[in-house]
Amino acid sequence: MNAGNLDTTNLLLGIMAAVSVLEALVLIGVGVMAYRLYSQTMTTIRELEARQIAPLVTRVNALMTRVDAILGDVKEVTGRVSDRTERVDAAIRSTTSTVSSRVHRVLTLVHSARAAVDGFLHRRAEHA
């Protein structure tokens, strides 16, 4: 009786060993397929980068260089405009001051002449 029990146990152990070997083979196969998939994916990514991303990066870098140059020009022009605006503002202030001074002199002259004419006319009216 013990011999029958051992035969069944040995059969079950053999089946379990065979299943374990099959599982190991399946895991090795899955590992190999995963590595192949990884290799193909990396190759595709490198090709995509070489075909599309690298030229795009080159164009963007060229564009950024142009933008930097334009920005430098804009800063220079802004500085020039600011300087000229200050000069024009100073010239306007100077001109306004000069005109105001001359207008004040002319008004004083006109008021003096008017007073003289009024005085001259009133004296004649009093003497007549």
pLDDT at 3 exceeding the cut of 70: no
Average confidence (pLDDT) over 4-15? 86
Q: What is the DSSP letter of 128?
A: -
Distance, in Å, from the CA atom of 78 to the CA atom of 88, rounded to the nearest integer, reads 15
Res 125: pLDDT: 66
pLDDT at 119 exceeding the cut of 90: no
Res 1: pLDDT: 46
Specify the pTM: 0.47
Distance, in Å, from the CA atom of 60 to the CA atom of 83, rounded to the nearest integer, reads 34
Distance, in Å, from the CA atom of 26 to the CA atom of 32, rounded to the nearest integer, reads 10
End-to-end Cα separation, the chain, in angstroms: 173
Average confidence (pLDDT) over 4-32? 93
Question: 67 falls in which pLDDT band (50, 70, 90)?
Answer: very high
| 82-118 tens-digit pLDDT | 999 999 999 999 999 999 889 999 999 998 988 888 8
Res 40: pLDDT: 98
Q: What is the DSSP letter of 76?
A: H
Exposure string (b/e) for 28-42, b if CB count within 10 Å is 16 or more? eeeeeeeeeeeeeee
